[in-house]
Amino acid sequence: MPGESRPQGVRRVAVIAAPPVSMFNLAIPEMLFGKVEIDGRPGYETVICAPDPGPVTTTGGLDLVVPHGLDAVAAADTVVLAGSGSSTDTDPRILDALRGAAADGKRIASICTGAFALAEAGLLDGRAATTYWAYRQRLADRHPSVDLQDDVLFVQDGPVLTSSGYAAGIDLCLHVIRTDHGAAVANTVARLALVAPVRPGGQTQFTQTPLPPERGASFADTRAWAMAHLDEPLGLTDLARHAGVSVRTLSRRFHAETGVSPLQWLLHQRVERAKELLETTPLAMDQVARASGLGTADSLRGHLTRRTGLTPSAYRASFNRLTADATV
């Protein structure tokens, strides 16, 4: 609650409901942040707020009772603006709260059309950002100073994050959880919420309609098989053989299903496995590299540094609760 004390180590998230708010957008942060536990204690406290506490209209025509006002923003570490059915004329009180949060150095995020309010508040000027693809041109026309990124799930530019539509808000929140607590915690939350593990922000917002599969099945089984064999030197030929298709067919249909190429998907899963091992085991760096399929400690260092900005030893020091002397 705003103004009340909170347990030590708990991060507070204020979710702003700008009417008419999307109920789905509004539910995402509470659902995901509410599932984070660190050493048996909640990792986050999520507070939903609005300019006027009380009934808030939704895009579905229902009213939600929001008990907290925008003073919750001042008490938060992270501010999330849920998507709204209106992309213009944001309540000036919301804009003032967003500008105040930015001035205080808080992390600020938007889901879907929430990016319009961030842009209206001036927080996206000169920053890389995204929104739901159907509204991209409208945002570009109204706010030409925003560096809009085409066809990505989410973008982080400094302390400001924006996501594209609907389920991409899940990816954004999982990214925040991973940033705060590491890949193992984020992937646990994803499993509890029955959603896909953390996806890279650069993955496409939507995929092309896949062609009818020749054998009447997707590549879900092949992806599950690859996850169980990440420590092996898998390549396109191995994946195609398991799927029972040609390499060309695998590449075309895999991209249609996932939005990325088979090798991009495989590399992402290997880096995620390496991060989990760094967080949850005392394995030496060369063992982590072999177990995740990245080969050598040098390869592990290169891929992890590019993805996180941290060396393996720095990543382990930041996120591993075990005592480990391994360095790289």
> pLDDT, tens digit, for every residue of 85-119?
887 889 999 999 999 999 999 999 999 999 999 99
- Tell me the mean pLDDT in the region 205-227: 60
263/130 Cα distance (integer angstroms): 25
Quickly state the pLDDT bin for 7 (edges 50, 70, 90): low
Quickly state the pLDDT bin for 184 (edges 50, 70, 90): confident
Dihedral class, residue 323 (left if φ above 0, else alpha if ψ from -120 to 50, else beta): beta
SS3 54: strand
196/183 Cα distance (integer angstroms): 13
Residue 303 has pLDDT above 90, yes or no: yes
pLDDT at 323: 46
267/302 Cα distance (integer angstroms): 12
Task: Enumerate residues 6+ apart whose C-beta is below 8 A from 263.
Answer: 235, 236
Residue 263 has pLDDT above 50, yes or no: yes
pLDDT at 259: 76
pLDDT at 325: 39
Residue 207 has pLDDT above 80, yes or no: no
Task: Tell me how far apart the terminal alpha carbons of the chain are, to the nearest angstrom.
Answer: 43
pLDDT at 172: 93
SS3 147: strand
- Tell me the mean pLDDT in the region 45-72: 93
Task: Enumerate residues 6+ apart whose C-beta is below 8 A from 226.
Answer: 234, 239, 242, 266, 269
- Tell me the mean pLDDT in the region 43-56: 95
Percent of the chain with pLDDT over 90: 62
pLDDT at 214: 36
162/291 Cα distance (integer angstroms): 34
Residue 288 has pLDDT above 60, yes or no: yes
Quickly state the pLDDT bin for 4 (edges 50, 70, 90): low
- Tell me the mean pLDDT in the region 225-242: 94
Mean pLDDT of the chain: 86
SS3 156: strand
